[in-house]
């Protein structure tokens, strides 16, 4: 019997070693093509099969990533905020079905519950332009969690939708949950997480910064593309954020935790072995949210149907097991913590070079489960856009024709090409924008949205005859396209068509 167990052990060890080698080849290939720069920790059946780093923590100083390299984990933080509030519920300190107003007395929306904050169904306004007037009044002011409720009250900000009727991802929700954690616990959010999550999970390289703009000694530099048509990464210090609030805020609860890939693995193991949260509360966090009409929350990421619990996303299709995750994104940083509860598999990726993280994690899942997978290839829209911007439209058109003949060498998404076209349009580069939308219509000839966008671009560029044709094509593909119908009437009325 001992020999049998030993043989089984050797077999598992051999399989994990081979899988680890294949994973290393996978990420090395990505790194060599500048498609991934970051830290990786992957486990299967509870055993780590890959834990390593690819690329630089600081490109300018030529410093390599290592086990101590700390990353902002962005919205993975939301899972910590959810865990913290559910710990308080477990201790009988609160009930998430209670109204927010019970704990934050001046909160002006009496019907919103803590659970609706955690499930992103509150209907609260987004932060993007919420504080613009305050920032203009007080240019030196840094907006924090404590400014949210006074702003709602001052401007009598209406809800975007009735609470519980719709799902909408919203950072403000988790900032308010952090305030409730502080109110109930009597200590700061940072101190609460340190005492109740970081220390019990032995996460020695994790913390909530007092000021998110001040970097720790081991914190990585972040790199991004300055626009949708650039092929060269730049340090995010040189890039202007698109929203005022991004430069003028210091929110916590929605994001902000600084950590390492190895520390996130410790968190995942502690959480799913019920060391820091009880089974009942964890199961509540991982139960798909139902809206007021009884429908389950659902949305799509990279072709996967997703639902949302309390601070966690989850795959609706459970044929490969119950897969839960949260990803994160800020300028120059993408992150994901993904865990297959059924198979005890986890994928933790932290990238400081704006990698497209969700397709990577799905490819890794397929790889460790011996399923067909593809190594993500170069982004067509970025390379194509660089040709267009540099005045080489002939080469750009050749690239599109080559892609149509053989799509295997590039990744092309309707979303990325559309964003590229709109960026040129905002920059008033009409020729470039129209070139992009025309190419997008060749790649996605059955997408009503592409032709609707093409019509909008043509209209803004003063080509109304062509705009009418694109809107007509869009409505043919989607008879329910109300925007297209309204624009058709508008253009016909304006120009007597």
Lowest-confidence region among 178-192, 293-307, 323-337 = 293-307
Choose one of 323, 338, 368: the last residue of a domain.
368
Instruction: Render pLDDT for 418-463 as a digit per residue (tens, 0 to 9).
Output: 999 999 999 999 999 999 999 999 999 999 999 999 999 999 999 9
What's the first-to-final CA gap in the chain, in angstroms?
86
- Asked if 332 and 236 count as a contact pair (C-beta separation under 8 A), the reply is yes
Q: How many whole angstroms separate alpha carbon 242 and alpha carbon 65?
A: 29
Determine the Cα–Cα distance for residues 137 and 131; give it in Å rounded to an integer.
10
Task: Please give, one letter per residue, the 3-state secondary structure of 192-239.
Answer: HHHHHHHCCCCCCCCECCCCCCCCCCCECCCEECCCCCCCCCEEHHHC
**Can you give the pTM of this predicted structure?**
0.86
Does 387 fall in a domain?
yes
CATH of the domain at 128: 3.40.710.10
Which whole-number Å values give the CA distances from 237 to 222, 334, 350, in the listed order?
8, 17, 19
* Mean pLDDT for the stretch of residues 84-97: 98
Taking a C-beta distance cutoff of 8 angstroms, is the pair 255, 171 a contact? Answer: yes
| Domain span holding position 396 | 378-495
pLDDT band at 2 (very low <50, low <70, confident <90, very high): low
Is 106 found in the same domain as 192? yes
* Together in a domain, 206 and 107: yes
Q: What pLDDT is attached to residue 270?
A: 98
C-alpha distances out from residue 395 to 117, 254, 385, 398, Å: 49, 43, 11, 5
225 and 252, same domain (yes or no) = yes
Whether residue 391 is contained in a domain is answered as yes
Block residue for tokens 């626009």:
227
Overall average pLDDT of the 394-406 stretch: 95
Q: Which of 319, 339, 368 finishes a domain? A: 368
C-alpha to C-alpha distance for 375 and 377, rounded to whole angstroms: 6
Count of CB atoms within 10 A of residue 463's CB? Answer: 16
Confidence of residue 409 (pLDDT cuts 50, 70, 90): confident
Domain count within the chain: 2
Q: What count of other Cβ atoms lies within 10 Å of the Cβ of residue 214?
A: 8
């Amino acid at each position: 019997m001992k020999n049998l167990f030993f043989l089984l052990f050797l077999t598992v060890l051999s399989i994990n070693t081979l899988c680890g080698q294949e994973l290393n080849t996978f990420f090395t290939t990505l790194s060599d093509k500048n498609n991934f720069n970051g830290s990786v920790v992957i486990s299967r059946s509870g055993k780590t099969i890959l834990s390593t780093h690819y690329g630089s923590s600081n490109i300018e100083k030529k410093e390599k990533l290592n086990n101590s390299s700390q990353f902002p984990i962005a919205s993975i933080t939301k899972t910590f905020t959810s865990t913290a509030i559910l710990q308080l519920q477990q201790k009988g300190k609160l009930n998430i079905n209670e109204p927010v107003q019970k704990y934050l007395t001046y909160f002006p929306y009496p019907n919103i519950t803590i659970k609706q904050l955690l499930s992103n169904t509150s209907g609260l306004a987004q932060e993007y332009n919420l504080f613009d007037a305050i920032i203009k009044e007080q240019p030196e002011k840094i907006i924090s969690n404590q400014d949210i409720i006074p702003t709602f009250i001052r401007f009598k900000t209406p809800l975007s939708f009735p609470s519980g009727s719709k799902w909408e991802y919203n950072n403000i929700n988790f900032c308010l949950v952090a305030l409730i954690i502080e109110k109930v616990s009597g200590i700061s959010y940072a101190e609460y997480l340190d005492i109740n999550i970081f220390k019990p999970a032995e996460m020695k390289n994790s913390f909530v910064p007092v000021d998110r703009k001040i970097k720790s000694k081991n914190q990585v530099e972040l790199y991004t593309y300055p626009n949708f048509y650039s092929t060269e990464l730049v340090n995010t210090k040189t890039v202007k954020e698109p929203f005022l609030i991004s430069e003028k805020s210091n929110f916590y609860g929605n994001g902000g935790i600084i950590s390492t890939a190895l520390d996130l693995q410790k968190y995942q193991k502690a959480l799913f072995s019920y060391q820091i949260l009880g089974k009942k509360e964890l199961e509540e966090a991982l139960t798909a949210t139902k809206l007021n009409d009884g429908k389950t929350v659902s949305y799509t990421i990279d072709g996967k149907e997703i639902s949302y619990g309390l601070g966690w996303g989850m795959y609706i299709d459970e044929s490969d097991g119950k897969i839960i995750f949260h990803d994160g994104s800020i300028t120059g940083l993408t992150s994901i913590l993904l865990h297959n509860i059924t198979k005890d598999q986890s994928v933790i990726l932290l990238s400081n070079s704006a990698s497209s993280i969700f397709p990577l994690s799905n490819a890794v899942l397929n790889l460790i489960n011996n399923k067909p997978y593809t190594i993500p290839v170069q982004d067509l829209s970025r390379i194509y856009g660089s040709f267009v911007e540099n005045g080489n439209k002939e080469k750009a058109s050749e690239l599109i024709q080559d892609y149509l003949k053989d799509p295997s060498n590039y990744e092309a998404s309707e979303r990325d090409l559309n964003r590229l076209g709109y960026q040129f349009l905002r920059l008033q580069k009409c020729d470039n924008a129209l070139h992009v939308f025309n190419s997008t219509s060749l790649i996605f000839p059955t997408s009503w949205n592409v032709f609707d966008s093409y019509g909008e671009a043509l209209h803004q560029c003063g080509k109304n005859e062509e705009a009418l044709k694109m809107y007509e094509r869009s409505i043919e593909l989607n008879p329910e396209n109300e925007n297209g119908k309204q624009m058709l009437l508008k253009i016909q009325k304006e120009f007597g068509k």
